[in-house]
Each structure stands twice: as structure tokens, then as C-alpha cells.
Chains A and B, each alone.
Chain A
Amino acid sequence: MMYEIRDLRLSFPDMAHKPLLGAAPRIEVLKGLSFDVPKGAILGIVGGSGSGKSTLGRAMLRLIEPDSGSIRFDGTDITHLLEDQLRHLRQRFQMIFQDPMSSLNPRRRVGGIIAGPLRLHGLDNLTARVDKALDMVGLPRTFAQRYPHELSGGQRQRVGIARAIALRPDFILADEIVSGLDVSSQAQVLNLLGELVRELGLTLAFISHDLSVIRRLCNRVLVLHHGLIVEEAETGALFDAPQADYTRDLLAAIPLPDPYQDWR
């Protein structure tokens, strides 16, 4: 198993309702989640806003620390590891962010952005590795000299992918990575990601609000609603016979580009 997650709970302080003295009340975002991510799986995590899907992703990468429960990554319990202890593991799980404009430091060139993590993990042959990563995501090597704002949305997202795969991780978390893109670049990025996962033997968790995109890419789906897993199934099974009411509502609400869809 790449990930084994048991009874994961996480809450944030609610500063809007903090009393004058004393601690702020806490908002429960994840209310006890348990699931496994097998090696080689492409797991889709779907849910609306406020479902906790992004928080779950960030907890899996230990960008935030859960309140209770456990997260095991490839057999190691990482639930409460300190940043120093996590550092050598970080090469093995990487993330691609939703908004490439804010996840790529605007004041660095693409080459520096991809090389940064490599340097931190003490890898050599940086230029060769950066070139290789750019090749794999289908960008010209000359792009290493450009700034993020000189690229189109789709190209920026490829840089995000290149940065993640350059480290040759075992696991990648992709958080809403196509929601800001036009359909044409969206199709390119999804196709690219699918190929890379197969080629490199990656395990992928793909967070999205869009079930159409999930069906295109994933082989397993987790449906999240208000911090709870309401359904977990193989992709085919989920779309053919959704079990949970919420999944059915979600499917029924998607407007297909088809005037004869029964939508009303």
C-alpha cells in the first residue's frame, strides 16, 4: 500500500467566532476518514467546496498536521512526524497545485523552479535533469529561461508537473490542476498526466470537483461530502451504479454538452 489512512480527523480554529478571551472554537473539516491507496492506483477524490478534499490532500503530504488518526506512507507512520524527520521523505511524495500562477514563484525562471527541489535533495546533473523533465512534459528546453508569467495557463501547469516528476517521486498529489484551464489545454494536461503515470509507474491522487475529468483519468474514486467519505468505488462501478444519494445528485447536476440530456 502506498497510503493507509485510518480515522483521520482534522479541525481548524474558527477565528470569526473567537471569544474575546480564551480559545477559538474549532471547525471540523475531516471527520474520521479511512481508506487505502494501493501502489499504482490513480485515485480520484471528488467533492464540492467545503467537502474537505483539499485539506485531505494537504494532510496526506503533511503540509498540515492532523488532530488524530493515522497516515502511513509506504509503511511509515507520518502522522505526527516533525518537519526535520519528514524532509528526506518529501522527495518521495510530490504535489501539483491548482493555480500554477501562485504555486510557481513569479520571480524565478522555469529552470530555477524545476531545479530548486532537486538541489535541496542533493541531486547532481541539474541541467540534464531539468531538460529531461521539460522533455517529458512536452515543453521546449528553451523554456527554462522564461518566467512563469510569460507562459500560457496550460504551459504553466506543465511546468508544475515537470517540477513534481523531476524528483522521480513514488506518489503525486494533483489538486484541482485543470480547473483553471481552457478545455483544449485541459485535455492536453490530462492526457499528459495519464501517460506519465503509466510510464513512470506513479501512484496518483487526483483531487477534482469535476466527475467528467475524474472518469477520464482515474481507476478508483472517493466521494467526499462535509468531511466524510460517502462513497468509495471502482470508477466504472461508480458511474454505472452510484450508491450514495450525494453521488447521484452530483452526477445529475453535471450539464453535459448534449441538448437531449435529461437535466431538468
Chain B
Amino acid sequence: MRDARGDVKRPIGLRLWLSGGWLTLLVLAAVSAPLIAPKDPLMQDLFLGRMPPFWMAGAEPGYLLGTDSLGRDVLSRILYGARLALIVALVAGTLTCIIGATLGLMAGYYRGWTDRVISRFVDIWMAFPPVLFAILLIAVLGPGLMSIIIAIVVIDWTRFARVIRAEAMSQGAMDYVASAQVAGRTRFGTMLTEILPNVLPTIVALLTLEMGIAVIVEAILSFVNLSISTDSPTWGGMIAEGRTSVHQAWWVLVFPLITLFLTVLSFSQLGEGLKDRFDPVLR
């Protein structure tokens, strides 16, 4: 019997190309920031304060996106800020994912007391207000890159644990899990070889989403001055500074904001795009 339903083609994701392209560009920029940044991001020049971007009247050559109130080059600061943003995204995202997904997978597949212990723990954990939690944590640990990463992991692992637990639970009810048992596979083996591959697309989507969230959280903490020391440029710090002079020099606020927006959007779209493209079931 022929069946026309399988012939319907899925369009190849434009969003995968756009989001992947932006993130690749950003990674390249971050890695080679010392080479391509036109100026020293920390160099102040009070005579060149609040210079507009290149297309406006009164622009100073060499400062493509203008300067902030202390005369620092906005473009260079964005490029250096990307390094920090991406380190936080990668390290915090991955750690969160590993911890949350492992616990979620175990709770969802093993059920019983494993599930009860992990789920109760997640419930209690989620009852703390997250931002307060982060601020408290950094107050204890002291500001710095490590503190930010730890704060993000500590707050967000529950998101993974919950979603992956539900996913593993529904996969665990499928007959191919029973058939692995019929074949004589161990419980742990079944979890790794049968369940994990089937929740992997969800994990990947969540991971990229989490990377976007990590960038935001880092920006928020910079914004309230709890991030890295003030002399290394961060997007959140730039936005905080730009806010004070938005009427005289909007570019100090707008450019890092756009960069942040595009980056977070790209992370979440990348996840969805990857899921569509590399899932043999959906493909």
C-alpha cells in the first residue's frame, strides 16, 4: 500500500542558518577580540566622551559605534564583552545541563524512591526566589566569574531536572523499553542506550535555551553591579552605564542591548532548529 503522507517535505530551517551564523560570528569575534578590536576597551579619553557612531555628524574616525561617557570605544567593549558572555554561556549552560539532566533522567526512569527523593528536592529548591538566591550566593562567595557560573547552575538545574524527568517518564512507558528488558538489558544499560538517545533532542534544545538564559542572568547581575570586577567590560555593565546617559548618547545603551538580544534569540532558535534537523523521527 502506498502512503502519500510520508512524502511531505519539511522546509530546511532558515532560522538554523541565521542563528548559527550569528553565534559563529560572535565566537570568532570573542576569540580574536585582541586582534580585531580597534581600541583598548578600557582606555579612557575624556576628550572623546560621547562620540556618536560613524554615520552621524561629529563622529570621530576609528570609533565605529561611538564612545561612552568616559571616551571608551563601544565596539571594542562589545567584542571583549562577548568573551565573558560566551564563557558564562558555555560553562554554566553545560554544567547546569549535566547536573539537571542526569538527575531528571534518573528520577523519570527509575521512578520509586529515587524519583521521590529527587522530586521533593527539586520542589523545595524551586521554592526559593531565584534572584534573591543568586544575590545572596554572590554576597557569600564574593563577585567574580566563578560565582556567576555557580549561581546560574544552582538556580537553573531544576529546570532541566523537571523537563527531562517528564520526558524520560513518557519514554519509559514505551514498548521499546519493555522490549529492551525482554532482551535482557540491565536497567542502567536501558537508560543509557534506549532512553537517553530519545531525550537527547530535548536536552539539546534546553541546553541552548539555557545558554541564552545564562547570558541574560550574567547581564542582569552586571546590571546590579554584582558581576565581574567593573574594569572588565560586560554587556550588562555597558547597559547599566548606558542607561544613565541615554538622552545624550543612546548608542552606549542600544548597541550592547541589540547584541544581547540577538545572542539570546539565536541560542533559543538554534536549539529548536537543531531539534528539527537532527531528529530522525521528525526529519
Q: Does B175 contact A (CB under 8 A)?
A: yes
Q: Does A106 contact B (CB under 8 A)?
A: yes
B179 lies within 8 A of A149 (CB): no
Using Cβ atoms and an 8 Å threshold, which residues of chain A touch B180?
116
Using Cβ atoms and an 8 Å threshold, which residues of chain A touch B245?
none
User: Contacts A99-B175, A182-B1 given: A106-B182 contact, CB under 8 Å?
Assistant: no
Partner-contacting stretch, out of B152-160, B183-191, B205-213? B183-191
A83 lies within 8 A of B174 (CB): no
Using Cβ atoms and an 8 Å threshold, which residues of chain A touch B174?
102-103
Of residues 193 to 221 in B, which have CB atoms within 8 Å of A's CB atoms?
A: 193-194, 197-198
The distance in angstroms between the C-alpha atoms of A147 and B176, with both chains bound, is 14
Using Cβ atoms and an 8 Å threshold, which residues of chain A touch B175?
97-99, 102-103
A103 lies within 8 A of B281 (CB): no
The distance in angstroms between the C-alpha atoms of A14 and B179, with both chains bound, is 25
Q: Does B181 contact A (CB under 8 A)?
A: yes
Using Cβ atoms and an 8 Å threshold, which residues of chain B touch A130?
none
Q: Does A158 contact B (CB under 8 A)?
A: no
The distance in angstroms between the C-alpha atoms of A120 and B181, with both chains bound, is 11
B178 lies within 8 A of A120 (CB): no
Partner-contacting stretch, out of A86-94, A195-203, A210-218? A86-94
Residue among B1, B183, B197 making CB contact with A107, cutoff 8 Å:
B197
Q: Mark A173-201, 1 if CB is under 8 A from B, else 0.
A: 00000000010110000000000000000
A103 lies within 8 A of B184 (CB): no
The smallest beta-carbon distance between A113 and chain B, in angstroms, is: 8
Using Cβ atoms and an 8 Å threshold, which residues of chain B touch A182?
1
CB closest chain-A residue, reference B178: A63
Taking residues whose C-beta sits less than 8 angstroms from the other chain, chain A's interface range is 20 to 34
Of residues 137 to 169 in A, which have CB atoms within 8 Å of B's CB atoms?
A: 147, 149, 152, 163, 167
CB closest chain-B residue, reference A154: B1
The dominant DSSP class at the A interface is loop
The smallest beta-carbon distance between A260 and chain B, in angstroms, is: 30
Interface contact tally, CB-CB below 8 A = 73
B179 lies within 8 A of A106 (CB): no
Using Cβ atoms and an 8 Å threshold, which residues of chain B touch A149?
280-281
The distance in angstroms between the C-alpha atoms of A94 and B179, with both chains bound, is 9
CB closest chain-B residue, reference A184: B1
The distance in angstroms between the C-alpha atoms of A90 and B3, with both chains bound, is 37
The distance in angstroms between the C-alpha atoms of A184 and B3, with both chains bound, is 14
Q: Does A5 contact B (CB under 8 A)?
A: no
Residue among A63, A104, A120 making CB contact with B185, cutoff 8 Å:
A120
Using Cβ atoms and an 8 Å threshold, which residues of chain A touch B183?
90, 116-117, 120-121, 163, 167
Using Cβ atoms and an 8 Å threshold, which residues of chain A touch B187?
83
User: Contacts A99-B175, A182-B1 given: A105-B194 contact, CB under 8 Å?
Assistant: yes
User: Contacts A87-B184, A98-B175 given: A147-B280 contact, CB under 8 Å?
Assistant: yes
The distance in angstroms between the C-alpha atoms of A104 and B175, with both chains bound, is 8
Using Cβ atoms and an 8 Å threshold, which residues of chain B touch A87?
184, 186
The distance in angstroms between the C-alpha atoms of A99 and B179, with both chains bound, is 11
Using Cβ atoms and an 8 Å threshold, which residues of chain B touch A95?
178-179, 182
The distance in angstroms between the C-alpha atoms of A98 and B174, with both chains bound, is 11
User: Contacts A63-B178, A98-B175 given: A106-B280 contact, CB under 8 Å?
Assistant: yes
Q: Does A207 contact B (CB under 8 A)?
A: no
The distance in angstroms between the C-alpha atoms of A9 and B184, with both chains bound, is 24
Residue among B3, B176, B182 making CB contact with A63, cutoff 8 Å:
B182
A163 lies within 8 A of B179 (CB): yes
A contact residues vs B (CB 8 Å cutoff): 58, 61, 63, 83, 86-88, 90-91, 93-95, 97-99, 102-108, 116-117, 120-121, 147, 149, 152, 163, 167, 182, 184-185
Q: What are 5 inter-chain pairs, A to B, with CB distance below 8 A? A: A83-B187, A95-B182, A97-B179, A117-B184, A149-B281
The 9 lowest CB-CB distance pairs between A and B, nearest first, are A117-B183, A103-B175, A90-B184, A97-B175, A105-B176, A102-B174, A106-B281, A107-B197, A87-B184
